[in-house]
Amino acid sequence: MTANTERRVLLAKPRGYCAGVDRAVQTVEIALEKYGAPIYVRKQIVHNVHVVKTLEERGAIFVDETEEVPEGAIVVFSAHGVAPVVHEEAQNLGLRTIDATCPLVTKVHKEAVRFAAQGYDILLIGHEGHEEVIGTTGEAPDHIHLVDGPDDVVNVTVRDPEKVAWLSQTTLSVDETVATVEKLRERFPKLTDPPSDDICYATQNRQVAVKEMAARSDLVIVVGSTNSSNSVRLVEVAKEHGADDARLVDYAEHIDPAWLEGVTTVGVTSGASVPDELVQEVLAWLYERGFGEAEEIESVSEHMRFSLPKELRKDLRITPV
């Protein structure tokens, strides 16, 4: 608890949109402008309720499976990536595809393909059922074994303990992943590391920023959706690093005033799929209840940008929008 009784707000930076989400959302927006509605999107383009709702209002149709898309229509693959079999299905159905998979997810897919070609068993640290994990596993289903956290390490079986590599989902808790890798290395001393971090820069930076804020906050509010892995991790990281309480909300109106009882300092941040307007609404909500202007705490400066998917770039060159 802070000794100061003045009600104040700390605002994490970086927060919100990462380069992969920005690119994926722009992809659907530009596709709608260029080709007209409807544009089909397989799965949620990014894991955020507000983004999906806004794009739906503009003419995007979200489907769970490629077979729900009518023949000849355009389908965008989400930022989380898809297994090769999904590309094949789309081709067989005569669909026009635009692949908005984040380049940092594609990097993990390529690592999986390379390790599999070299005969490794690949221990993929990630959350069961997450779309990114399903997509990555589809690159080498006979080689990849999911490891869902440190407690799952005992369940792993491999063909040759001398030839084992690990990879991870891009949006995990950095600390928990380190703990999982340590346990894996105890079981498999010859464990091979990925060539570079799989947990992406945006996930890492948002966790660094929330850690810095958490110890000074009575309550941390994370703006994000419940199916957003990196947003849920921010809540966990905030609690582990000193916040008395941390809550996830999609919208300001979801904040329960009871959470603020006895609270002097509120930390605010947002997941990588969250537009900043939703954070500003939270700040306004707090301001109306006697909290001061937000003090921004910048821990890392971010400049990452990704170019649009190649299918879109190609068409945009023919007829610029």
Binding site per annotation, positions for [4Fe-4S] cluster = 18, 102, 200
Q: What's the min distance (Å) between Cβ of 35 and ligand SF4?
A: 23
φ/ψ of residue 255, rounded to 5: -75, 130
Q: Residue 164 is encoded by which pair of tokens?
A: 């084992």
Nearest CA to 7 among 223, 258, 298, 286?
Answer: 286
Give me the least distance between CB of 277 and ligand SF4, in Å please.
Answer: 18
Sheet holding 74-77, edge to edge: 60-63, 39-42, 74-77, 96-99
135 vs 206: CA distance, rounded Å: 24
Q: Considering beta carbons, is residue 102 or 165 the nearer one to ligand SF4?
A: 102
* CB closer to ligand SF4, 54 vs 264: 54
Which is closer to ligand SF4, CB of 97 or CB of 228? 228
State both tokens at 37: 């509605």
- The SS3 of residue 269 is strand
12 closest CA partner among 277, 266, 273, 285: 266
Q: Which is nearer to ligand SF4, 102 or 221 (CB)?
A: 102
Q: How far is the CB of 14 from ligand SF4 (least distance, A)?
A: 11
What gap in Å lies between CA 153 and CA 182, rounded to an integer?
10
- Length of the chain measured in residues: 321
Q: Are 124 and 180 in contact (CB under 8 A)?
A: no
State which residue, 8 or 206, has the beta carbon closest to ligand SF4.
206
Segment holding 281, helix H or strand E: helix 276-288
H-run or E-run covering 237: helix 229-240
Minimal distance in Å, beta carbon 80 to ligand SF4?
Answer: 7
Residue nearest ligand SF4, CB atom distance = 20
Query: Shortest approach of ligand SF4 to residue 221 CB, angstroms?
Result: 20
Q: Which two tokens stand for residue 316?
A: 């945009």
Cα separation, 103 vs 61, in Å, equals 23
- The residues annotated as belonging to the active site are 132
DSSP secondary structure, 17-72, as one string: --HHHHHHHHHHHHHHHHH-S-EEEES-SSS-HHHHHHHHHTTEEEESSGGGSPTT
**Can you read off the two tokens belonging to residue 41?**
């999107």
C-beta closer to ligand SF4: residue 18 or 30? 18
Annotated binding site: 18, 47, 80, 102, 130, 170, 200, 228-230, 273
Binding site for ligand SF4 (CB under 6 A): 18-21, 79, 102, 104-105, 170-171, 200, 202-203, 230, 272
Q: C-beta of 50: minimal distance to ligand SF4 in Å?
A: 16
Positions at the binding site for isopentenyl diphosphate: 47, 80, 130, 228-230, 273
Q: How many CB atoms lie within 10 A of CB 209?
A: 23
